[in-house]
Amino acid sequence: MDQNPAILIETPLLHKWLGRRLYEKEISKRQLSRLIGRSESQVNHWLSGKERIPLGLFIQAIDAIIPEESEAAEKLLIAHERAKLVQREAAMIVSDDTPASIIATVKVIVRRAEESAALSEAGDAATQYRTLSDNLSAGLNVLNMVKGCKDEEVAFIHENNIQLHLRFPHNVMTSDLIQFAAQNPRCLDEAREKVLRSMRETVKSKNSAKFSDHVRQHAYHMLARCGDPSSRDLVLEITKSCRDLATRRTAHYARIVDNPNPQAAEEFMFELENSVDLATVTLEFDLIHYGDKILGDQTSLKSVENMIVHNLRHIRTHHRAATTQVAFWKLLNILGRFGAQPFDRRRIYPHIRKILASLQILDSVKLTPIERRFLGQFARLQLTSDLVSESPSIGRSQLTFSFK
């Protein structure tokens, strides 16, 4: 079993993870060799990384020494196997076909997969490794969609894959890949040009029945997010006179994406504050994007947890950018619409405390109006119980949060 040390970046290799568990359990290599019926020399070679650990014996070792962590071991193994698939698929779209280019392309996907899994505050190791595997699967989807566009001239965004495109982290991985390609043209120049051309054709089809509004909206979003200057200008030109709510939202984002100036978001937030309909469309997009709701699902909303987690993540990773100001507004909007309970989660509360701490150390005159509102509202939020609820309900009953 090839452990591929060059693929995953932060995730422990199988032999290192197993060695760490042995150390924590104070189990010697000799003891492990007896438990699984292999020589101490053979076990030493596995744990030092000199030889691959056979799959069956890796599982046998886990069952023998730490059966309570068998699920985490299984998810870690799946993550490594999925990373191999990412490497195989990346080789299909790289232009110069050199090992260095393939590995560099793979690391674009892997880095985002690992960072997103770590920031999700998933809790136990098994859940975090499962999240990592899911993120790597998203990376595989992105690579396959790029390959289809590059080799088969299939539209990059179309009706059969729009559900995938709308789901995090597909869009950020696509953006990462296109931006990497712009900086490393030898690796992915052909793939990048065909993907951008496909999306430009999609946004130009405004009065055509070829693409749905959802497909066109996402093409607007992606061209504004990661397209070249001419692509961004095209989006701004097409959307500037549109008055439908979804396009207004997209047009605002097109103007502020990657803008480090927090004041650039003021016009968008003013309209959000004064248009309930635009605020609702913006909320709906995030619910679909972050997996709290499925596109076209008309059933009642059960959770806004993923939306909250990812907006908090965005605030922490895009310090005081224009889009961060909008993320603050979204969280205040959720608080106003649903009350405090949606924020009553083990994976949410630590993020809030860290963000509050980062705002409290700033001079108050340097805070933007929306940052002051966030600090004023959420600093008053306190735990009234030692237990933090895991209930998915977004109702207002049985709160463990209250206001002072």
Per domain, the residue ranges of the chain are 94-258, 264-404
- State residue 207's pLDDT score: 66
- State residue 385's pLDDT score: 41
Report the half-sphere exposure of 286 (CA within 13 A, side-chain side): 25
Residue that has been written with the tokens 């003021």 in this structure:
266
Q: Which two tokens stand for residue 263?
A: 């004041």
- State residue 123's pLDDT score: 67
Residue that has been written with the tokens 């566009």 in this structure:
149
Q: Which two tokens stand for residue 106?
A: 């793979």
pLDDT (tens digit, 0 to 9) for every residue of the chain, 404 residues total?
444 455 999 999 999 999 999 999 899 999 999 989 999 999 999 999 899 888 888 999 999 888 999 999 999 999 999 999 999 999 999 988 899 999 999 999 999 999 988 876 656 889 999 999 999 999 999 999 999 999 999 999 999 999 999 999 999 999 999 999 999 998 999 999 999 999 999 999 876 677 888 899 999 999 999 999 999 999 999 988 888 899 999 999 999 998 999 999 999 999 999 999 999 999 999 999 998 998 888 887 889 999 999 999 999 999 899 999 999 999 999 999 998 889 988 778 888 999 999 999 999 899 999 999 999 999 887 644 444 445 445 543 333 333 33
Q: Where are the alpha helices (DSSP H) in 53-158?
A: 55-65, 70-90, 99-119, 125-152
Q: Which two tokens stand for residue 139?
A: 């990376």
CA distance 282 to 280: 5
**Dihedral angle of Cα 218, 224, 227, 229, to the nearest 10 degrees:** 150
CA distance 71 to 259: 42
Instruction: State the CB neighbour count (10 A cutoff) for residue 171.
Output: 20
The beta-carbon contacts of 243-249 under 8 Å, at least 24 apart in sequence, are 245/275, 245/277, 245/278, 245/281, 246/213, 246/217, 246/281, 246/285, 247/217, 247/220, 248/278, 249/278, 249/281, 249/282, 249/285
Phi, psi of 57 (to 5 degrees): -75, -30
Report the half-sphere exposure of 151 (CA within 13 A, side-chain side): 11
- State residue 256's pLDDT score: 95
CA distance 283 to 263: 21
Residue that has been written with the tokens 């701004």 in this structure:
236
Q: CA nearest 346: which of 394, 400, 301, 395?
A: 400
Number of residues assigned to the chain: 404
Specify burial of residue 390 (Cβ count, 10 A radius: 0-12, 13-18, 19+): exposed
Bond from prior residue into 169 cis (ω within 30 degrees of 0): yes
The model's pTM = 0.85
- State residue 382's pLDDT score: 60
- State residue 180's pLDDT score: 96
